Structure 1
Amino acid sequence: MNSESRQGGRSIVLGDVEVVRAVEWQGPFGPARDLVPGAGPEVWKENERWLAPEHWRPDDDSAWMALQTWVLRSGGRTVLVDTGVGNGRERPSSPNFHHRQGDFLGALARAGVRPEDVDVVVNTHLHADHVGWNTHDAGGEWTPTFPNAQYLIPAADDFHYGPGNGYAGGLRDDDRLMYEDSIAPVHRAGQAVLWEGSHRIDEHLTLESAPGHTPGSSVLRLASRGDRAVFVGDLVHSPVQIAAPACNSCFCLDAEQAVSSRRRILGRAAAEAELVVPAHFGGAGALEVRQEGGGFTLGRWAAFGTA
């Protein structure tokens, strides 16, 4: 991988695309075995050497994660991959997200990005921690944060979490709240573009469906002058899922489909030397993977440094 570091380890260049990391939050998310229920204590212990301390704290069994947005400068345009939790949201079922206040726009500014500079927003899927900064509170009304951007939203998730499906069947009020404050205003502004199957953004960037975590979960592939990366959203929440790809997170809606997508995307990443860029990894944030038997092992970490 031919990459160069910039901005004190927060940026790398892949071919003709610059990738910048903008971190909204990083810290303990909750018990590790609640996050990935299928990974028993022995799995975490066997992999402690590379899980601790940046991804797992053995003393209290806490999973450490990041909320972050990946900023891509490609073909003269600025693309955001996921937009975090947002400020001031009603998320009663999600204590980590409820009424959160943070400096995400400051993090973008430090990456050299103003809201009006953003051309494309990619929501890899419609969970509250991936769409929150789609909008902001403008005098009591939720309004798109990025006024000049096209928002690329998986059609399957838009239906699943939208009113036509009773906001994901009405099982969690958080899903209705998320759609109403972070997705519906983008539709009303005429900035939403629904896609399915695949969607080419430009000569370097292509979206592809990878369902399971949610019906519309997707990955963004980057290919430029021999360099490759895949932004996998919540295909993996913790590096433990690379060692144990059959283990889903507690948030995956279709367990069998999620495992199939994970194996397929990681297998291709290993075969094609794609840098794997998840939404929630702390530490260096992104890494290469290698095929090993029926599973995978960790390769080189990216040059982002710790967030």
Structure 2
Amino acid sequence: MSATSAPRESVDVGDIRVTYLPDGEAAVAATALFPTSTPELWDLHRDLFDADGKLLLTLGAFLIRTGDRTVLVDLGFGPDSMSFPAADGEFRSGRLLTSLREEGLEPSDVDTVFYTHMHVDHVGWTGTNGALTFPNARHLAGEGEVEFWRTPDNPLAAVGPHPEAVLGPLDGRIESIADGATLAPGVSVVATPGHTPGHCSLVVSSGSARAMILGDVLHCPAQLTDNDVSLAFDLDPVLAAKTRDRIAAELEGRPETLAAQGHLTGSVFGRIMRGESRRTWSTAVATS
């Protein structure tokens, strides 16, 4: 069966609700996006491919409702679809605001936007017609992230935030948040660098329930099978692999802790398990 992008779905973490809001999908050549991978590795993961033989990645954002707070984690790819020659693929996007409204919310209802990092597929709805799409929200990113993307001659500029469309509206409106800081009640920041310098994940906890929104620590289950499979756009592949191994070791075999990864197909919620001497991803049952 061919892979399908993840739907809008929710899980309850104690009193906190986490909802995945689809924006679209990317269809790419697996060995182009993951240049250290092999065709033999992907033979173990044919369920991740679409009918055209492309690796399918979901694009979207996470909505966290905790107490009276409304938080968006990442902002998808944005209203445009486009080819992506660097990975012999394409982005098909534009659904995020519709997904948000299906949850009964308008952009003005969001009080916080948190970027796990600022690659192009995580910042796409930052601005609309030169103004912030979420005008009432604080905009936050990990320490060093914004500064990295404002560096002249950045080697990864082609996959980073657009200087006018994204960084322009954020000028004077984006703040840094430190490792370990509380973002909202029950939601804390954990530094997970490597993919980008200021890459961060979020820990969501309420009572005995716990979940972790991974950002791009993990892109697909093949990186659990082989931790050395790095993305073409990892700034520091060695550090990214160390971070991925550290987080996976923390999560594996802990049924009380959900993981959420926004590029997965089928469902973005699951658990990291260990079986037959290797890690695997086990999809969790969402509440809606």
TM range (shorter): 0.7 to 0.9
The match for 1:31 is 29
Structure (1/2) with the larger helix percentage: 1
What's the secondary structure of 1:275's corresponding residue?
Answer: strand
CA deviation profile, 1:118-143 (whole Å, cap 9, x unmatched) = 01111000101101112111xxxx11
Q: 1:296 to 1:146 in 2, by over 3 A?
A: same
Which residue pairs with 2:199 in the alignment? 217
Report how many residues are paired: 279
How far apart in 1 are the matches of 2:227 and 2:213? 17
What is aligned with 1:277? 260
Q: Give CA-to-partner distance per residue, 1:132-189, whole Å, 9 cap, x none.
A: 112111xxxx111111111111231111111xx21xx34355367624321331233x
Q: Which residue of 2 aligns with 1:113?
A: 105
CA distance in 2, matches of 1:62, 1:9: 22
Offset at residue 31 of structure 1 (A):
1.0
RMSD after superposition: 2.6
In the TM superposition, what are the counterparts of 1:206-285 in structure 2 within 5 Å? 206-270=188-252, 272-273=254-255, 274-285=257-268
TM-score of the superposed pair, with normalisation by structure 2: 0.87
CA distance in 1, matches of 2:168, 2:135: 15
In 2: Cα distance, 1:176 partner to 1:103 partner: 21
Partner in structure 2 of residue 18 of structure 1? 17
- Describe how 1:36-75 pairs up with structure 2 within 5 A: 36-45=34-43, 47-48=44-45, 51-52=46-47, 55-57=48-50, 60-75=52-67
What's 2:162 paired with?
Answer: 178
Aligned to 2:3: none
* Cα distance, 1:14 vs structure 2: 1.3
In 2 relative to 1, CA 223–271 (structure 1 residues): closer, same or farther, beyond 3 Å? farther
- SS for the counterpart of 2:76 is coil
State how far apart, in whole Å, the 1-side matches of 2:83 and 2:31 are.
23
Q: Partner of 1:150 in structure 2?
A: 138
> What is the DSSP-based 3-state SS (H/G/I as helix, E as strand, rest coil) of the residue aligned with 1:280?
coil
Report if aligned partners of 1:35, 1:249 keep a CA contact under 8 Å in 2.
yes
Gaps of 5+ in 1: 1-7
* One-letter identity of the residue aligned with 1:291: R
For residues 86-118 of structure 1, the C-alpha deviation after alignment (integer angstroms, 9 at most, x for no partner) is 235999877745xx7723211210122201100
* Contact 2:17/2:66, CA 8 A, preserved across alignment: yes
- For the structure 1 residues 236 and 17, does the alpha-carbon distance in structure 2 shift closer, same or farther, using more than 3 Å as the test? same
Q: 1:231 to 1:194 in 2, by over 3 A?
A: same
Q: CA deviation at 1:65?
A: 1.0
The 1:25–1:40 alpha-carbon spacing in structure 2 relative to 1, beyond 3 Å, is same
Q: CA deviation at 1:9?
A: 7.0
The whole-number CA distance in structure 2 between the counterparts of 1:160 and 1:80 is: 22
Of 180, 189, 205, 2:187 maps to 205
CA drift at 1:300: 3.9
Distance in 1 of aligned mates of 2:40 and 2:160: 38
TM-score scaled to structure 1, two decimals?
Answer: 0.82
Task: Answer yes or no: is the 8 Å Cα contact 1:122–1:153 preserved in 2.
Answer: yes
- 1:216 is displaced (CA, Å) by 0.9
Does the CA-based 8 Å contact 2:22-2:61 persist in structure 1? Answer: yes
Moved over 3 A (4+): 88-97, 170-177, 291-295
Deviation digits for residues 6-39 of structure 1 (CA, Å, limit 9, x no counterpart) = xx9722211011111211113x521112222222
**Distance 1:231-1:177 versus aligned 2 partners, 3 A rule:** closer
SS in 2 for 1:201: strand
Residue pair 1:134, 1:144 contacting (<8 A) in 2 also: yes
Partner of 2:284: 301
How many angstroms apart in 1 are the aligned matches of 2:191 and 2:66?
A: 21
**Alpha-carbon spacing, 1:192–1:90, altered in 2? closer, same or farther (3 Å):** farther
2:174 paired residue number = 192
TM-superposed deviation, 1:292: 4.4
- Contiguous gaps of at least 5 residues in structure 2: 1-6
User: How far is 1:40 from its partner?
Assistant: 1.4
120-129 vs 286-295, which moves further: 286-295
In structure 2, what residue type is equivalent to 1:143? A
Distance 1:121 1:23 in 2: 16
Cα distance in 2 for partners of 1:222, 1:145 equals: 25
Residues 251-279 of structure 1: CA deviation (Å, up to 9, x unaligned): 21101100000011111112544211112
User: Aligned-pair distance for 1:56?
Assistant: 2.0
Shift in Å at residue 197 of structure 1? 2.5
Alignment of 1:161 onto 2:144: no
The SS at the match of 2:181 is strand
